[in-house]
Amino acid sequence: MKFKKLVAVLSSVLLMGTMFAGCAPSSTTTAPAASTEKAAPAAQEEAKPAEKPKNDKLVVGFAQIGQESGWRDAETWSILNTAEELGVDLKFSDAQQKQENQIKAIRTFIQQQVDVIGVAPVVETGWETVFKEAKDAGIPIILVDRRADVPEDLYAAFIGSDFILEGQNAAKEMAALLGNKGSIVELQGTVGASAATDRMKGFTDELGNYPDMKILASQTGDFTRAKGKEVMEAFLKAYPGQINGVYAHNDDMALGAIEAIKDAGLKPSVDIKVVSIDGVKGIFEAMAAGEANVTVECNPLLGPQFFQAAQDLKDGKTVEKWIKSDEGIFRQETAKEDLPNRKY
């Protein structure tokens, strides 16, 4: 499935917050009503033994957060596309940024007796009850890209990045850009999300090594371009002529901040240094145009690792508790050469 086509399908189907089953080409665009293969066991049970046959298709439920960023779209694409390639029966839900919708989706997956549930927890807390329900039903949970604050026995694995390290790397890059001296504003991700909490911690801790660098202000832009712009506009008004750098917890917010900086008559990456996290194409374009400085990569293409872990769990194998992704740091100097190689 092509990325653009997928995004179009997502916008039209998933925005409604519905759930649909199967990721094969035939079912991706089908109406939610088609998702009944696993939901009507009664009729089947009379003909077949109650137990699921061994070696049957891998059945997975995935409770996605929403469509707040280019990174998120790339992750969704990776999940849908890998399921299609592997022939996995995928039930996919878009929670439109709401934890209650993710919890509802997980409960539906439990009823549908999926083999494994994947969830990208929008915030860190509030998962214990529903994860216990999955555990009682014998369904392992894989945390994808963000962590949940639950006891270790309530999830099988976390697949994703080291957000603290990303924050530390971002701080080192900012220090190098500013000659170890200057005032920074921070655009935080969604409040309560592990990706935001840890990116803030890593950055702040690392900044402790640079006595002449300080954070002037820090506020959430909810991982979106629109809010990133809005908050940056407010910062520029509140601290005229005082901001040397902006650190954004994701590229989308940085792209919003760049617009705000330009609207204020300043040059992004020159008058105000721009450092962010993710590595989406849009920020490479901005770097190539000389408007952003550095992105610390966070890989969203987690589909292959996710379904491998799901299959291993179904097969009764043990999986690593933290499956990490390989990531780099990319700077303005090489952006033009890097751009054609970017996959998301």
Q: Which residues bind ligand GYE (CB under 6 A)?
A: 68-69, 71-72, 145-146, 195, 223, 250, 252, 277-278, 298
User: Quick check: 33 and 65 in contact, CB under 8 A?
Assistant: no
CA angle 49, 53, 58 (to 5 degrees): 140
Percent of residues in the chain assigned helix, strand, coil, to nearest 5? 45, 20, 35
How many Cβ atoms from other residues are within 10 Å of residue 99's Cβ? Answer: 18
How far apart CA 294 and CA 200 sit, in angstroms, is: 17
Task: Say if residues 279 and 317 touch (Cβ distance below 8 Å).
Answer: no
- Name the token pair of 323: 């499956």
* Helical packing angle, 303-314 and 70-86, nearest 10°: 50
Class of residue 265 by CB neighbours under 10 A (exposed 0-12, middle 13-18, buried 19+): exposed
3-state secondary structure 99-136: HHHHHHHHHHHHHCCCCEEEECCCCCCCCHHHHHHHHH
- DSSP code, position 268: B
Nearest to 58 by CA among 160, 140, 137: 140
**How far apart are alpha carbons 235 and 261 in whole angstroms?**
10
Structure tokens at 240: 């005229």
227/67 Cα distance (integer angstroms): 14
